[in-house]
C-alpha cells in the first residue's frame, strides 16, 4: 500500500520534475514536507520496485547514438543473456517478446563507434547475434498516467 506522499510523488512528478540544483527541496516545499521525507519516499518507492530511476527522457539520437536491438536467443539461454545485457550501463531497458527474436533492448552510447563496440561485445559474450534496427520515424508516446489517489 502506498503512503499519501508516495502517491503524490508518483502522480505529480512523472512529468514537470523541477529542473534546478535542488529539485527534491523544491518538491518538498511544493508539498509542504521536508526534503528528507521526499528523499525517503522516493527511496522506498525504489526499494518496492515501484520506480526504477528518476531522470530525463531524451529524444533518440539527439545526444549520442542509440538503437533498438533484437536477439534470437534459445529459451534455455534467455535468462543468462538477459542478465548479461542488463549489466551494460548503455542498455536503457530490456524485455522479452513472444517471437523468434525474443530479446529486445535499447542501447544508447556516446557515438556510433561506441554503440557498435558494445554490440560486438554483447555478441561475443552472449554467443548470439544482435540485430540493430534503425529508427525510420520518431514517435513519442507519453507514458505518464494519472494515479487513482483514493484508496
Segment 12-58, tens digit of pLDDT:
888 888 999 999 999 999 999 999 999 999 999 999 988 877 877 66
Quickly list DSSP for 14-53: SSS---SS-HHHHHHHHHTS-HHHHHHHHHHHHHTTS-S-
pTM greater than the 0.75 cutoff: no
Domains annotated for the chain, with CATH where assigned, are: 4-47 (no CATH), 65-133 (3.30.70.3460)
- Annotation says 93 is catalytic: yes
Average pLDDT of the segment spanning 122-149: 80
Q: Which of 70-74, 97-101, 121-125 has the lowest mean pLDDT?
A: 97-101
More confident residue, 64 or 137: 64
* 144 has pLDDT over 80: no
Amino acid at each position: 500500500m502506498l503512503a499519501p506522499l508516495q502517491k503524490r510523488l508518483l502522480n505529480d512528478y512523472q512529468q514537470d520534475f523541477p529542473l534546478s540544483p535542488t529539485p527534491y527541496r523544491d518538491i518538498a516545499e511544493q508539498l509542504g514536507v521536508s526534503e528528507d521525507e521526499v528523499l525517503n519516499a522516493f527511496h522506498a518507492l525504489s526499494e518496492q520496485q515501484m520506480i526504477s530511476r528518476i531522470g530525463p527522457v531524451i529524444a533518440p539520437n539527439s545526444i549520442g547514438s542509440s538503437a533498438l536491438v533484437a536477439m534470437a536467443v534459445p529459451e534455455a539461454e534467455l535468462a543468462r543473456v538477459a542478465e548479461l545485457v542488463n549489466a551494460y550501463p548503455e542498455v536503457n531497458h530490456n524485455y522479452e517478446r513472444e517471437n523468434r527474436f525474443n530479446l529486445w533492448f535499447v542501447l544508447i552510447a556516446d557515438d556510433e563507434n561506441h554503440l557498435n563496440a558494445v554490440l560486438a561485445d554483447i555478441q561475443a559474450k552472449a554467443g548470439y547475434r544482435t540485430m540493430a534496427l534503425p529508427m525510420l520515424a520518431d514517435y513519442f508516446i507519453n507514458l505518464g498516467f494519472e494515479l487513482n489517489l483514493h484508496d
